[in-house]
Amino acid sequence: MVDLEKHSAMIKTEALRLGFDSCGIAPAGHLEEEAVWLSGWLREGYHGTMKFMENHVEKRLDVTRLVPGTVSVIVVLLNYFTDKRQLDIQAPVISKYAYGKDYHSIIRKKLTLLLHYINTAIGKTSGRGFTDSAPVMDKAWAVRAGTGWIGKNSNLVSPNKGSFLFIGTLLVDRLLHYDKPIRNLCGDCQKCITACPTQAIVKPYVVDGSRCISYLTIENKGEIPTAFRRKFRNRVFGCDICQEVCPWNRKATHHTEEKLMPLKGLLEMQKEEWYRLSEEKFNALFSGSPVKRTGYNGLMRNLRFLKEAPSDSPQGGVIN
């Protein structure tokens, strides 16, 4: 008789050994509740110009259509929290997740190693790993796998690690022992909603992506609407404001992933250096960094927007 609990425990132990901070497992299937939510979210236009969100909806809602034969969804979390900050409090601020190297390659490599382990230690298993690289609703699967709950800012919240977390999923054709979802512990807290300077959290658990600073500075390819002038709190790439005020992030601990450590010279950049940044310096500094996603021209657009409408709040307007 196959010992499903033993195999699942082995997978979780190996995931932690590989450097992941948490691992849970859920049965593959159709995401019924998320289907209703996604339909309404798209209908309201909350995805802005991210038209790719309208594509492959059935695959997005059912991983067995994305990877035929999938039986189980293994979810892993990787902490990226650090209390290190940019030294110049007047300098344009970038999100913590972009301090180091691009997390996609880091997580994909670890998922490949995890799948190899399953094949060698448990038995022949087919699978594919993903992290923001396919139409997978990773936060929904993270909830089903019992690793956390969705906060009112739509981020996954772990009761032990907070919300500064990357999510990876490994879709496998092996039956395993499954975890149960945990209770949502946000309670009556509204701090993330109140703190958002662009009012992107239109109601609890619903974010208008087209108003989110992360979207406006990264995914948005056009000019930033003038309606958001003086509301960026000096953010130039991404935004952590709703996470910084979350009480659950008092439990956040420093990550231990070497490749996520701040790039050399990044945190030391003075305000004037950002505004004098050449394309050559950009390419050298952000080689292999998430900041490359917006490109040099995109970053310059963001810097111009900040310069034309400076914020009253230095260092991103962090709220304690």
Whether residue 167 sits in one domain with residue 18: yes
Contacts of 241 (CB under 8 A, 6+ apart): 195, 196, 197, 213, 233, 235, 316, 317, 318, 319
Whether residue 232 sits in one domain with residue 166: no
Whether residue 212 sits in one domain with residue 149: no
Whether residue 201 sits in one domain with residue 307: yes
Residue 310: CB atoms within 10 Å: 13
List per-residue pLDDT tens for the chain, 320 residues long.
579 999 999 999 999 999 999 999 999 999 999 999 999 999 999 999 898 888 899 999 999 999 999 999 999 999 999 999 999 999 999 999 999 999 999 999 999 999 999 999 999 999 999 998 889 999 999 999 999 999 999 999 999 999 999 999 999 999 999 999 999 999 999 999 999 999 999 999 999 999 999 999 999 999 999 999 999 999 999 999 999 999 999 999 999 999 999 999 999 999 999 999 999 999 999 999 999 999 999 999 999 999 986 665 555 444 33
DSSP 8-state class, residue 230: T
pLDDT of residue 310: 67
Whether residue 214 sits in one domain with residue 67: no
pLDDT of residue 308: 84
Helix (H) or strand (E) holding 95: none
Q: Which residue, 172, 204, 233, sits at the end of a domain?
A: 172
Whether residue 77 sits in one domain with residue 212: no
Structural domain that includes position 76: 4-81+102-172
Total tally of structural domains belonging to the chain: 2
Whether residue 33 sits in one domain with residue 162: yes
Is 132 catalytic? The answer is yes
Asked if residue 45 is part of any domain, the answer here is: yes
For residue 72, the SS3 value is strand
Buried/exposed 122-143: b ≥16 CB within 10 Å, e otherwise = beebbbbbbbeebbbbbbbbbb
pLDDT of residue 311: 64
Of 62, 132, 179, 208, the catalytic one is 132
pLDDT of residue 51: 87
Whether residue 114 sits in one domain with residue 61: yes
Distance CA 110, CA 125 (A): 16
Whether residue 195 sits in one domain with residue 109: no
- This prediction has a pTM of 0.94
CB 48 within 8 A of CB 215: yes
Whether residue 209 sits in one domain with residue 115: no
1, 77, 110, 165 from 106: Cα distances, Å: 36, 12, 7, 13
